[in-house]
Amino acid sequence: MKKTFISFLTIILLITPTLAITNKPVINATSAIAIDSNSFRILYEKNAFSKKPMASTTKIMTIIIAVENNNLDEIVTISKKAAGTGGSSAHLKAGKQIKLEELLYGLMLNSGNDAAVAIAEHTADSVENFAKLMNKKAIELGALNTNFVTPHGLDTNNHYSTAYDMAIIAAYALKNPIISEIVNTTSKDMKFTDGTSVFLSNTNKLLSLYNGANGVKTGYTAMAGRCLIGSATQNNWQVITVVFGEPTSSSRLNDTIKLLDYCFDNYSLVDLCELYTPQFKINIKKGKKINVTPKYANSLVLPLTKSEEKSITIKKSYSDELIAPIKQNQIIGKVDFMLNDVLLGSVKLLSSESVERLSYKDYYNILLDNFFEGKYLY
């Protein structure tokens, strides 16, 4: 049998009244999204689940596959096919050799399509085999409306993703310190093994124009339009943005800044478990203690507006038939955090201590105590 309780959080604002959320920005992108990089909570979206060509933002998955399937010190030999790839280039020449780590900078800073093909051939022998690895990883990450055909994103049939899918792929990529460092680099001399080098300049101008910007990747093709996956961290909170189908490079940058400003101005990270600390006890039958105070198994940190904080409701669920013995940290229930009847997240309740089962001797002593106290004389 289950008992369910509903409680309302009461938050007293001591300094200022509740702030009304700013109107959502109007942007030019045909598809866009802004998410919290940890929880993936959507803070803004515009056609975010529509399948779109994503141009060179494809290379975020390319670098993921490269880093996870190779040693960075491996030497890559540039093929004629790679060197001859059209579009944006890292200025690779056939026969040249380069460390994979250096080549990754050519991939992400100059958006080198030649670098993408060289990485694919080195990792999986062919572009086709590499695309299989990309698609397998996409499924693993939950990017279920994505299909990769190439490692560079040049216009081709059946190569698509969504703003949401690319946002969660970018969030995953940025958790890798190697990738995070590369996409946050504004310029670099990419060195070949023969001592020559090529100067690289990051196409992502957000890095130098926005406070806390730390990624991620630009893109452009005739079909995709101007694209930008952005990232910025302020007050230890990282927001990922995606804009697809922008008309100009300026508009993709300006709209990305609008989205980041909107998120940082209106949302802040809140630990819901700190807002609602368990103050209740759960009864235990046949135990040496009659109840136990639960504790949360983990925290639940989400970006919320001030008005959302005031609207959180708590739904506690646990059995009223807990029977000893109970182990410390045993799961004994859960708490659902709701916003306007929508589930934000659930956290398991654990026992804060162990409770032993009553022995026959314990029962005998209880009977004696009750007898001498006169509880059974009536």
Catalytic residue IDs: 56, 59, 111
| 285-308 as b/e: b if 16+ CB within 10 A | eebeeeebebbbeeebbbbbbbeb
Which residue in 117, 82, 77, 119 sits closest to 96, CA to CA?
A: 77
Distance CA 157, CA 327 (A): 57
Distance CA 287, CA 358 (A): 5
Please count the CA atoms within 13 angstroms of the CA of 227 that sit on its side-chain side.
32
As beta bridge partners, residue 299 has none
Q: Is 275 helix (H, G, I), strand (E, B) or coil?
A: helix
What 4-9 contacts at long range (C-beta under 8 Å, 24+ apart), as own/partner pairs, is: 4/315, 4/316, 4/317, 5/315, 5/316, 6/313, 6/314, 6/315, 7/276, 7/313, 7/314, 7/316, 8/313, 8/314, 9/275, 9/276, 9/309, 9/310, 9/312, 9/313, 9/314
